[in-house]
């Protein structure tokens, strides 16, 4: 998604309806790039409201679907290959943006990554993190020096448990965790946040917040009514939590952070 002066109209993308125009002419300005990495077994479409808002506010936004770890094909979930390939997908997506004839004349060298859940692992690894498996095997990943800032949403971080794993991640980070993330594991949100803060050398570069009453899936765009059900966990939230209102706030917070740091 990207900014355009052409009038927007409702466009159906998967189960979602967004205000957009297909193949619209991009505005003639220099624009930064944002890549959004989805969670395990998830979909790039789960962050359309974030992408739409950022595009409306001057960003080129790409949302790759991670091969072998998405809704349609989840054969690599839990595999070493998935840990290796996810960060590479980020670089491939960036390469694609910079090589695209539509964007080439308009894109700047400013890049931010947004990662939710397993996407949090992905963007940390792409930005210089060195992950390790539970069996103490070093994961060979491709780092990308083009990255300027990270946004972590309820990130999965256990692969960075050993000392020194985030020594080379030296950039601004906005990290938002959920108060009720994986409620069967009490305090999970605090442990995953503490791990990032403790492993990053320059702790002043990390802004860490806990979203009151939020759950792990609260960072996904609000689902259409046809998909919202108590039996469909990603569409559910804690009693009293309004995902629509939260995303209005979330979008503004992400934009403010990116505007300041890239």
What does the pLDDT average to over 5-12?
89
- Rounded to the nearest 10 degrees, the angle between the axes of helix 48-56 and helix 243-261 is 50
Looking up tokens 């220099």 gives 30
Q: What is the CATH number of domain 9-261?
A: 3.40.50.1820
Looking up tokens 């209102």 gives 245
pLDDT over 80 (residue 188): no
DSSP-derived 3-state class of residue 132: strand
What does the pLDDT average to over 165-183?
92
pTM over 0.85: yes
Indicate the helix (H) or strand (E) that contains 34: strand 31-37
CA atoms within 13 A on the CB side of 168: 14
DSSP-derived 3-state class of residue 216: helix
Report pLDDT for 18: 86
Between β-strands 16-20 and 9-13, what pairing exists: parallel, antiparallel or unpaired?
Answer: antiparallel
Record the tokens describing residue 233, joined without a space: 């966990």
Record the tokens describing residue 143, joined without a space: 């780092």
Q: Count, in order, helices (H) and strands (E) of the chain.
A: 5, 8
Distance CA 203, CA 158 (A): 19
Break the chain into its structural domains and give their ranges: 9-261
Report pLDDT for 221: 96
**84 vs 161, 205, 225, CA distance in Å?**
17, 26, 36
**177 vs 31, 173, 191, 216, CA distance in Å?**
28, 13, 10, 8
| Most confident listed range (85-99, 177-191, 212-226) | 85-99
Q: Which residues are CB-contacts of 239 (< 8 A; sequence separation ≥ 6)?
A: none
Q: How many residues are present in the chain?
A: 262
What does the pLDDT average to over 183-206?
81
pLDDT over 80 (residue 243): yes
Condensed to tens digits (0 to 9), the pLDDT of residues 102-152 reads 898 899 999 999 999 999 999 999 999 999 999 999 999 999 999 999 999
| Main-chain phi, psi angles of 149, to 5 degrees | -160, 155
């Amino acid at each position: 998604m990207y900014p355009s002066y052409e009038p927007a109209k409702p466009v159906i993308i998967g189960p979602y309806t967004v205000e957009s125009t297909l193949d619209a002419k991009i505005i003639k300005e220099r624009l930064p790039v944002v890549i959004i990495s989805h969670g395990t077994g998830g979909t790039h479409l789960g962050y359309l409201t974030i992408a739409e808002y950022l595009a409306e506010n001057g960003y080129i936004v790409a949302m790759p679907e991670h091969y072998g770890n998405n809704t349609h094909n989840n054969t690599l979930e839990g595999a070493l290959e998935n840990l290796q390939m996810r960060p590479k997908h980020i670089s491939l997506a960036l390469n694609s943006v910079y090589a695209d004839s539509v964007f080439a004349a308009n894109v700047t060298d400013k890049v931010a990554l947004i990662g939710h859940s397993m996407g949090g692992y992905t963007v940390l690894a792409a930005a210089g993190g060195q992950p390790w498996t539970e069996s103490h095997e070093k994961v060979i990943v491709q780092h990308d020096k083009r990255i300027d800032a990270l946004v972590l949403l309820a990130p999965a971080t256990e692969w960075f448990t050993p000392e020194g794993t985030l020594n080379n991640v030296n950039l601004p980070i906005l990290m938002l965790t959920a108060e009720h993330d994986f409620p069967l594991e009490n305090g999970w949100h605090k442990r995953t946040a503490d791990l990032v803060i403790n492993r990053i050398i320059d702790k002043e570069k990390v802004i860490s917040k806990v979203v009151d009453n939020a759950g792990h899936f609260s960072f996904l765009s609000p689902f259409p009514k046809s998909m919202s059900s108590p039996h469909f966990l990603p569409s559910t939230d804690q009693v009293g939590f309004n995902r629509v209102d939260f995303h209005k706030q979330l979008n503004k917070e992400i934009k403010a952070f990116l505007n300041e740091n890239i």
